[in-house]
Amino acid sequence: MTSTRRQFLVNGARISAALPFASGLSFGASRDNDTVLVVLQLSGGNDGLNTVVPHRQDAYFRLRPTLSIARGDLVALDDEHGLHPSLGGIGRLFDDGRVAVVHGVGYPEPNRSHFRSMEIWHTADPIDAPTGVGWMGRLSDQLARRTVGALPALHIGDGELPLALYARDSFAPTVRDASGFELRGSAAFRARRDALLRDDRAAGELTAFLRSAASTSYRAAARMEQAAARHSGTEYPGYALAQRLRLVAQLVSGGFDTRLFHVELGGFDTHARQAPAHTDLLRELSESVAAFQRDLTTSGVAKRVLTLVFSEFGRRAAENGSRGTDHGAAAPVLLIGDGVRGGLHGRAPDLARLEEGDVPFSTDFRSVYTTLERDWLGLEPSTSHAALDVLG
Amino acid sequence: MSADVLRAWRPSKGEWDRAAATHLTRRAGFGGGPGEAATLANEPAHDALDDWLSRDAYDERVTKGVHALLPGGDTQRVAAWWMSLILSGGAPLRERATLMWHDHFATSDAKVDDVRMMYRQNELFREHGLGDFRVLLHSVAKDPAMLVWLDGGANRRGQPNENFAREVMELFALGIGNYTERDVQEAARGLTGWGTEGRAFRMRAEDHDDGEKELFGERGNLTGDDVIDRVLAQPACARHVARRLLEEFVTSSPEPAWVDDVARALITNEWHIGRTIERIVRSELFFSPAARRSRIAAPVELVAMTARGLSARIAPREATEAAARMGQALLRPPTVKGWDGMRAWINAGTWVARHNAMTTAAESTTVDWGAVLEGEDGGTPEALAATLVSVLVPDLLGGTLEARLADALRSADGSRDARASLGAALVLTAPEYHVV
């Protein structure tokens, strides 16, 4: 706590108003208190070197005799880097200044277990055993304390709740699709439900609490229904990821108060015959995100929404004997939205200086988190790692 | 003055009623079947308590059935199997204790990732959960799932891992403020070498630190077993266990004096958890206003008491999934702290899950409404409302819930079963029903 407070002072006025819970509902003047963070997780370990390709380094072609991508096929970013050919949609957003690429994001002593490394990213803690509270869960708790009855975080998907969203005092529901807040019950029941809730008389503290929660919940369900019924007219591709992002856009533009969303795209554990699978996955990512950004712009909420794209680790610099890649270490993360300072940030990987065959990290992921937690959301950060200058 | 709080309850006529019987079945179990609270209320209180507390039988076909599930590797099937034991009601207090210890020694398959180890731990709670706490704690400390969960294997001479040592003091046996950081470090040294091999406990002598340690101010060449014994010998230990029992069976905020009394009762009873719980359940305190309607029903409780109360045939897997949507996934507690419970159960998302599970139960075609309504015909809205409230929330009979329900049912038509189903859906989704 002490170091966090010092960090606030060091970093000046912007975050001074975000001192923990001192002022309840008040926020700093720098951002509206309605910014939204979408965390898009690429599960399995995305191959960073074939996502943001360092095509000026001969070592790249040497290390990857079958998997390297020819310079001419890449989506140009700067003189030295290009995106995978499937990432055309994200490339266009980059050209508009709406994508910040942060090179070489990771942490010291990288762990190559999917489970452990994901746990590290989810808890923002590479050292201690997890306490079962995730970095987004900590944010969710802070938001829940500010606005009683709010629904600070949602997991959109069909898997289990990610550890990142585990909170101490609040609970993030998992919503598969827009029907996730659908209330069951016969028509006769629905017509009478509210009559039973209507009672102001003292009924004990717990019942009063539940009554208030139930009312909040029924209102949220109604808002979800309305929000999900709104169509901005934006066309989305048929991918599962696109449909999930569409729901996020509907909820945000429909006035839903959720500020943290977690969505996932799996299948990145490409140990063998990587190229076709990786091509398809990155196309799903790019086209889904592009549609999402178009939708947010059309709906007039693009300024409020920032998407973090990360994976639990990158992959080995050298390809393996199965035309695939094995578990590696650092990799680029993408920050996408109108609120970012577009461009390439951080120190690009130097393939002449690998550590145990891996790209070592040059930016700690916890600095990315601080940027999002404190500077984007106006909340108390998980750690005292310094923020990055990647927001607009 | 002392032990007063555990004085046996001698209800006067009228005090032992359906509401008291319902409190017994829901707090010292997962509720009764249709008509069961009425039957218990018709017996003398003493006999009814004897009856309820002596229920401790399992259907062998069900208990043995788990072995067919284990090879599949799906822990959620074991969770559903556990739910079937809860729903059957054969051993209400033992299953209640099993769930309490699962919450207390909270271990999640999210990390253990092994169906057999999770099953074995669950059986450990069932076997020792009403026995000697000292045996329970020693068994938990050597339980393979716990060793994986809290990194026993990584706790080696020269590089101790404090995970288990810390939690055994902070959460399992003593509570914050009753040990020092030094105690944690020294206990971890004593526990070095405890790990698993092939899903079984294994002591690796080569990893054990056999040097002298100083724990709770005493020096010695402590083994892991010595560490657990010294923890158990701390005065804070019995109080910690006592508080846990009071939180589970009486109220989430027990008075310090009650904790002292129960801790004394625990030691008098040779650390026997079952006998201590029985003293609590038979006491004035258990039936006092402080205990009645003092909890927000946990998801597993809510699902089980509803399915049992309506005798609705709900597949155990559906029941565990419903509870998980409400925030309580069996065998996957969120942290080593277990579930926080009470208000933490509730948010907009979990209330929708409660609402949907409750309406699904009330609209289930498997409900025998004749049995649920105990033969009452519920011909008028008032009669139906009175019957439903007395069956589902008997403490509130004659209150505003009953009046509001009668109002809501006034325009209802259709068969008795249709009206009963509608009325039950309204009661089960009413906030009042979720307070137990």
List chain B residues with CB under 8 Å of A186. Answer: 359, 363, 422, 425
In the three-class reduction of DSSP (H, G, I as helix; E, B as strand; rest coil), residue A174 is classed as strand
What global pTM score does this model have?
A: 0.76
Q: How confident is the model at residue B25 (pLDDT cuts 50, 70, 90)?
A: very high
Q: Please tell me the distance from the alpha carbon of residue B302 to that of residue A104, in angstroms, as a whole number.
A: 49
Q: What one-letter code names the amino acid at A389?
A: D
Q: Please tell me the distance from the alpha carbon of residue A175 to that of residue B272, in angstroms, as a whole number.
A: 44
Q: Please tell me the distance from the alpha carbon of residue B121 to that of residue B101, in angstroms, as a whole number.
A: 10
Mean pLDDT of B149-171: 90
Mean pLDDT of B411-420: 92
User: Which of B351, B389, B392, B433 would you mutate first to test chain A, the one with the most A CBs within 10 A?
Assistant: B351
Model pLDDT, residue B122? 98
Q: What one-letter code names the amino acid at A314?
A: G
pLDDT in tens, B260-272: 999 999 999 999 9
List chain B residues with CB under 8 Å of A181. Answer: 349, 352
Q: Please tell me the distance from the alpha carbon of residue B297 to that of residue B303, in angstroms, as a whole number.
A: 9
Q: Is the pLDDT of residue B19 over 60?
A: yes
Q: What angle do CA B318, B319, B321 make, to 5 degrees?
A: 65
Which of 98-157 (A) contact B at CB < 8 A? 115, 129-133, 144, 149, 151, 154
Domain boundaries, chain B: 150-229, 299-434
Look over chain B and give the mean of its residue pLDDT values, rounded to a whole number.
94
- Determine, for residues B349 and A173 on separate chains, whether the beta-carbon distance falls below 8 Å: yes
CB burial class (10 A; 0-12, 13-18, 19+) of residue B431? buried
Which of 199-228 (A) contact B at CB < 8 A? 199, 201, 203-204, 206-207, 209-211, 213-214, 216-217, 220-221
Q: Is the pLDDT of residue B255 over 80?
A: yes
Determine the residue of chain B that is closest to A151 in CA distance: B348
Intervals of chain A under pLDDT 70: 1-32, 148-149, 159, 171, 199-202
Contacts of A372 (CB under 8 A, 6+ apart): A37, A306, A308
Is the model more confident about B3 or about A175?
A175
Residue B290: C-alpha distances to residues B46, B284, B431 (Å): 21, 10, 19
- DSSP annotation of A96: T
Chain-centre distance for alpha carbon B273: 14
Q: What angle do CA B105, B174, B334 make, to 5 degrees?
A: 30
Fold of the domain spanning A28-376: Alkaline Phosphatase, subunit A (3.40.720)
In the three-class reduction of DSSP (H, G, I as helix; E, B as strand; rest coil), residue B400 is classed as helix
Please give the backbone phi and psi of residue A332, each rounded to the nearest 5 degrees, phi first.
Answer: -75, 150
Nearest to A314, CA basis, from A156, A36, A140, A105? A105
Model pLDDT, residue A202? 63
In the three-class reduction of DSSP (H, G, I as helix; E, B as strand; rest coil), residue B133 is classed as helix
Tokens of A206: 């717990």
Q: Is the pLDDT of residue B277 over 50?
A: yes
Residue A308 contacts residue A369 (beta carbons within 8 Å): no
Q: Please tell me the distance from the alpha carbon of residue B328 to that of residue B345, in angstroms, as a whole number.
A: 8
Determine the residue of chain B that is closest to A172 in CA distance: B349
Model pLDDT, residue A5? 28
In the three-class reduction of DSSP (H, G, I as helix; E, B as strand; rest coil), residue A208 is classed as helix
Q: Please tell me the distance from the alpha carbon of residue A207 to that of residue A216, in angstroms, as a whole number.
A: 14
Model pLDDT, residue A157? 85
Model pLDDT, residue A186? 85
pLDDT in tens, B176-206: 899 998 999 999 999 999 999 999 999 999 9
Residue A316 contacts residue A359 (beta carbons within 8 Å): no
Please give the backbone phi and psi of residue A335, each rounded to the nearest 5 degrees, phi first.
Answer: -115, 125
Model pLDDT, residue A31? 44
Q: Name the percent of chain B lying above pLDDT 70.
A: 99
Domain boundaries, chain A: 28-376
ipTM of the modeled complex:
0.93
Q: Is the pLDDT of residue B342 over 90?
A: no
pLDDT in tens, B202-231: 999 999 999 999 999 999 999 999 999 999
Model pLDDT, residue A230? 78
